[in-house]
Amino acid sequence: MNAEKSFLSKCAGRIFNDLNNVPVEAPSKISEDLHCCNYLHPFIKPLFMIPKVYEVRLNRSAAGSRKRSDFSCVVDNISILNSEIKPLGFTSLQKKKDFAKVNLRAKKSINQQLSLKGGPNKSVIFTNMGDVVESFLMELNYDGIYCSWPFCKSKLIIDKASMPLIVSTFCHFVELERRTNKLAEDFKSRKVPFTPPNQINRTW
């Protein structure tokens, strides 16, 4: 068994053990802190919170922002991954507002990347609305248009009935970390200062 498979096997075992005590029936409403602690951190901590080129921040702000991202991965104080999380019992209005906020934050991250190092013109977005987790990649096209597209969507493990979905959810977080790390390494390796075109220097 190679090192990567061995690492993922250990992570999978740890996640299964951490989620083994999920309730028979999920609560209809829960605080955001408890939601993250019970359902998200079992996936985030073993896969993301190890020595990497990026720094993981939980409920902390990044450069140039007073807004606290629920979960972010940062390189040189610039977010490579931005997120918004809403616990069980969220409203549709909260979902719409948070999706708009995280997209604006991703646009700002791309602009900061371009201003500092000239790229890459990409940012990862992660959303968790109740029991649904979804990941997106945002890119800045050459015509100055920001586009985001989903690359993973799965269900969060919140009760005994959802435990059979743990493999697909685990694979989702593995792919999320892989893309985040690849983007972070790309950004970190860039050395030459760069002045972006005027169309990129907009205020969003």
Per-residue pLDDT tens digits for 26-83: 998 999 999 999 999 999 999 999 999 999 998 754 444 445 557 999 999 999 999 9
Domain count across the chain: 1
pTM here?
Answer: 0.86
Q: Is residue 204 part of a domain?
A: no
In a domain, 195, yes or no: no
Whether residue 159 contacts residue 20, with contact meaning beta carbons closer than 8 Å, is answered with: no
Q: Rounded to an integer, what distance in angstroms lies between the CA atom of residue 131 and that of residue 158?
A: 7
Strand segments, DSSP code E, in the chain are 55-60, 69-75, 78-86, 122-129, 132-140, 146-155
Do the domain assignments include residue 196?
A: no
Token pair recorded at residue 159: 């009760």
In a domain, 139, yes or no: yes
Helices (H), 24-73: 32-35, 41-48
Structural domain contains residue 175: yes
* pLDDT tens-digit readout, 132-178: 999 999 999 877 899 999 999 999 999 999 999 999 999 999 999 99
Domain assignment present for residue 202? The answer is no
In a domain, residue 198? The reply is: no
- In eight-state DSSP terms, residue 38 is I
Pick from 52-56, 63-67, 102-106, 116-120: least confident? 63-67
Structural domain boundaries enclosing 114: 3-190
